[in-house]
Structure 1
């Protein structure tokens, strides 16, 4: 009899847990998988999808204007774009600043960002498993996620550049 009540109690607890803490509806992308789709409109009004970047090495930078490490990393991304853009590098900034389009446009101008910036929807954030900022994904010419970087340390930025150089050297 005790065993029966214990199993019922355990089952009830499992159901309550499942309802209280549902699993995310999106599977978070992993290294080696195809990059999840992106469909956004840049702050300059251009529609952007992953198809725009076929055949390019793509760096996706999830950032926010209020995030100090993001603010520090962006000049490095601007430099990378200038340095490797003609070799096949593309960068896409995805802002998590909600409802502040004018503020983001002013930020883009003040940081002299030389790549497209758009707003990251909740679905994109979920698909890419965003947990902290900045988060940078590097995607190969074939559309495969090769690495995910979190934080904006000098070591992280050097690792991003080394990976970009390696991927640009591949056919």
Structure 2
């Protein structure tokens, strides 16, 4: 397994035809993105927090071999702070892409900060996605449709609509 290690600048890390590990440390500007491009093999996308200020990622897993790909060290799906502040992650489907925003704690009371992580998994719903995500020590299956399984799943609504509204049609 080859490791591809980024910096705190906007990086484009492109893997090999084997299983790879991508280690990305985020960026220093809100408009910058780290782009992680996987190929065949079971790739690991390590989105650990570093010294960067922003954590915007594009994951483009181009593998066609059916290997299991996983994102690890993803920000927490729930944050809380004093006096009742609570925030949850949001997940949505835009075309064939899976968009995940994890919350961060506010920098002042009741003043939500930018998302802790913004992750775009390209072509997730077209069969080129990432199968699992580890957040807060829990492994979640990233559903590629509008139904879950018997494990902890993350299911996105189609085109920004909640999953329940899709089932009523």
Is this a same-fold pair by TM over 0.5? Answer: no
By percentage of residues, which structure has more helix?
A: 1
* Bigger Rg, structure 1 or 2: 1
TM-score by length of 1: 0.25
Identify, as 1 or 2, the structure richer in strand. Answer: 2
